[in-house]
Amino acid sequence: MRALTAPLELVALALRYSLAGIVAHPWRTRAWVVGLIAIALVFAFGSTLERLPVTSVQLGYRGTAMEAEYNPRLLKPEIEANRLLPALPAVPDAGIPSSKAYKNIKVLQTADANQFLRQMGAFANWINPAAGCAYCHSLNNMASDSLYTKTVTRRMIQMTREINTNWKAHVGGVGVTCYTCHRGNSIPQNVWFTEPPPGAGHGLAETGTGQGSPDKASGLTTLASDPFTPFLLNAMPIRVTGVSDLNIGNNASTKQAEWTYGLMMHFATSLGVACTYCHNTNNFASWDQGTPNRVPAWYGIRMVRDLNRNYMLPLTNVFPAGRKGPMGDVAKINCATCHQGAYKPFYGASDLAAYPLLAQRNTP
């Protein structure tokens, strides 16, 4: 994913400055010459044109161009970057529950004491291996809740269990662990915050509605910014196309349409796929003509919305100031948080079976 955005940013930047020159001095030949050369160079070297080869994976009927395209050369480092950590070796049970062995256990209290410690070791490896236990536990008293990270972790364990037990429609049997998102980072590398309301004149072409400025969320297009707040936090309808021939009663705005496009661009970049992974471009809206992949994606949107509302938002006041977004909101989840550029996180590999504590149902 990161490999893709760097040239894209370059393109956006070069286009912006060469166009700026032309707009500022439209009567000067030099501005036009320099501007056009820059634009030509951008398309020659900075664009997303890729060196071959390309392989394609068929996703729909033959002849419908329903396929996912991959460049094996670019896929190789992505596969390397999306590997699971080796699972920790199994340990024999201690025979007593963790709540008997340790104080102040609130989520994993029924776990066997030894399995509990093994799981703690895995947490350390997954979240912040350098800080280890100390990232969540006070070294003076491991039972103390003095560090905010411990409060967050408890809720995140519950969230992981919620995903693995109640959202099988999206995660299937593969499931998730902390490492699916964290990958050794205390904050997962791909999270989102609500963006400040757009102000006219921030960029060369930015409008007061947040259009016209390259937006990372929608793949550096100039679609309306922040497509996440409406769909992945609030439940605004994603579909903007009309359902009847004459389009009666559809008052969806251009901005809404751009948000939908932006969200779809985010889906594509987060999973490393194109539209045809789920949709038949003959009729985007039609469920009949799309691929089965669209079903888990539909549940995924609901899942992310649920997690953001019920697991992330309630933690807003737990996080310290430096951890929140520009609007003082908590870090939130989108597709990239788990997928990180792969159509399935870790390209489908799973080690949830090695950590059964995370696959249990939450106790109400």
Partner 1 sequence: MTRSDRVASVVGLAAIALLACLPTRSLAQDQPAQVQPSADLIARGKYLTDMGDCVACHAAPGYPKFAGGQYMQMPFGDISTPNITPDKETGIGNYTDAQFIRLMQRGIMPDGSRIYPAMPYPWYAKVPKADLLAIKAYLFTLKPVHAARLPNKIWFPFTIRPAIALWDAFFVPGEEFKPDPSKSDEINRGAYIVEGLEHCGTCHNHWNLLGNTAIAGNVEGGAITRWYAPNLRNDDLTGIGRFSVDDLVSFFKYGHSKSMGTVAGPMSETIDESTMKLTDSDLHAISVYLKSLPVVAAYTPTDGRYRPDAMAAGRQVYLSHCASCHQDNGQGVSERIPALDGNGMVQAAGSQDVVRVVLGGLEARGPYGLMPGVGAAMSDKEIASVSNYVRQAWSNRAPANTTTLLVSLLRKDTHTLLNGSRPDGCPALAENDLAKVLDDSSNGIGALLQQTTEANLLQNANTIISKVRAVAPQIKREDLVNGLAIAYCPIVEKEPGLQESQRIWQLTHFADRVYVQLTTNGAY
Residues of each annotated binding site for heme: 120, 133, 136-137, 156, 170, 178, 181-182, 264, 275, 278-279, 335, 338-339
- The single residue among 139, 245, 251, 363 that binds partner 1, judged by CB under 8 A, is 139
Nearest to 233 by CA among 332, 314, 158: 332
* 103 binds partner 1, rule: CB under 8 A: yes
Quote the least distance from Cβ 163 to partner 1, whole Å: 24
Q: Is 109 helix (H, G, I), strand (E, B) or coil?
A: coil
- Report yes or no: 119 and 357 within 8 Å, Cβ to Cβ: yes
- Tokens at 330, concatenated: 């908590």
CA distance 285 to 294: 11
CA distance 258 to 210: 10
Residues counted in the chain: 364
- The single residue among 136, 232, 278, 333 that binds partner 1, judged by CB under 8 A, is 136
- The single residue among 34, 81, 133, 204 that binds partner 1, judged by CB under 8 A, is 133
Quote the least distance from Cβ 92 to partner 1, whole Å: 9
* 324 binds partner 1, rule: CB under 8 A: no
Q: Per CB under 8 A, which region of 19-27, 117-125, 237-245, 285-293 contacts partner 1?
A: 117-125
CA distance 302 to 304: 6
DSSP annotation of 202: S
Structural Rg of the chain based on CA atoms = 24
Question: Helix/strand/coil (H, E, C) string of 4-43?
Answer: HHHHHHHHHHHHHHHHHHHHHCCCCHHHHHHHHHHHHHHH
Tell me the per-residue interface mask from 333 to 352 with partner 1, x by CB under 8 A, - otherwise: --------------------
* 81 binds partner 1, rule: CB under 8 A: no
- Tokens at 47, concatenated: 């664009």
- The single residue among 64, 138, 151, 189 that binds partner 1, judged by CB under 8 A, is 138
Q: Contacts with partner 1 in 174-203 (CB under 8 A)? A: 184-187
Q: Per CB under 8 A, which region of 109-117, 163-171, 206-214, 334-342 contacts partner 1?
A: 109-117
Residues within the interface to partner 1 (CB under 8 A): 85-86, 88-91, 94, 102-104, 113-114, 117-118, 120-122, 124-125, 128-143, 147, 149, 184-187, 320, 322-323
